[in-house]
Amino acid sequence: MAIYPIILTQTKFMHHDHLKYPFEERGLQFGDGIYEVIRIYQGEYYLFEEHVDRLYRSAEAIKLTLPFSKEELKDLLLELINRNKMKKDGKLYLQATRGSAPRDHIFPKDVLPNIYGYIQELPRNVNHLNNGVKAITERDTRWENCYIKSLNLLPNVLAKQEASENGCYEAILHKDGKVTECSSSNVYLVKNGKIFTHPATNNILHGCVRMAVERFAKDLNIDFIEDAFSLEEIANADELFLSSSTSEILPIIQVDKTIISDGKPGKVTRMLQAAYEQDAKLAKQRLEY
Catalytically annotated residues:
149
Rounded Cα distance between 175 and 50, Å, is 28
Q: What type of residue is 142?
A: R
10: number of Cβ within 10 Å: 15
Instruction: Indicate the burial class of 23 (C-beta count within 10 angstroms; 0-12, 13-18, 19 or more).
Output: exposed
DSSP bridge partners of 248: 244
Q: What type of residue is 36?
A: E
CB 129 within 8 A of CB 97: no
